[in-house]
Amino acid sequence: MYFSERALELAQRIVARATAEGLTVATAESCTGGLVAACLTEVAGASHAFERGFVTYSNEAKTALLGVPRELFARVGAVSEEVSRAMAEGALRKAGVDLAAAVTGIAGPGGGTAAKPVGLVHLAAAGKGQPTLHRSEVFPGARAAIRLAAVESALALLLRRLDGAEPGP
């Protein structure tokens, strides 16, 4: 199995809760390339809750599919809190779902800078009528490890949003 036991357990909890509550879920992903959606759909019965996933690797795709304002990229860069929030909120609107998770980051091995090192990932989880949650992490390891850690973190944040958590540390 490609996903960790923890990631699969989080995905199962999300699918079970969303299904039981009649909620729908979407994902918006950049550096994870659809792995969050893949983990959710690894769960039997995911079709009752999972609506769609947007893989928006380029800035153009983020704008065209999710409505992320172009000016954000020039101002703060694609790997930022603002873009992750805009991705999650865009997925919520564009898919017409109840919950959405977003991931943008630098999985490496190249592309990092002193300000934005390889392993930096910004995650967001949006819910209808709820404030969007954000979290950033710098994950250690090689590309595959960073991407899989980002999947777990995105699912954990989505579960927090499903649980009605308020923004905070």
Q: Give per-10-residue mean pLDDT for the chain (169 aa).
A: 92 98 98 98 98 98 98 98 98 98 97 96 97 98 97 98 78
123: in domain: yes
16: in domain: yes
CA atoms of 31 and 54, how far apart (whole Å): 12
29: in domain: yes
169: in domain: no
The whole domain housing 111 covers 5-162
Closest CA to 162 of 12, 5, 38, 4: 12
- What is the model's pLDDT at position 168? 59
Q: What is the domain count for the chain?
A: 1
Using one digit for the tens of pLDDT, what is the confidence trace for 140-151? Answer: 999 999 999 999
167: in domain: no
In the chain, the amino acid numbered 56 is T
168: in domain: no
Question: What are phi and psi for residue 124, nearest 5 degrees?
Answer: -145, 150
CATH code (residue 48): 3.90.950.20
Using one digit for the tens of pLDDT, what is the confidence trace for 104-138? Answer: 999 999 999 999 999 999 999 999 999 999 999 99
Kindly report the average pLDDT of the chain as a whole number: 96
CA atoms of 150 and 62, how far apart (whole Å): 18
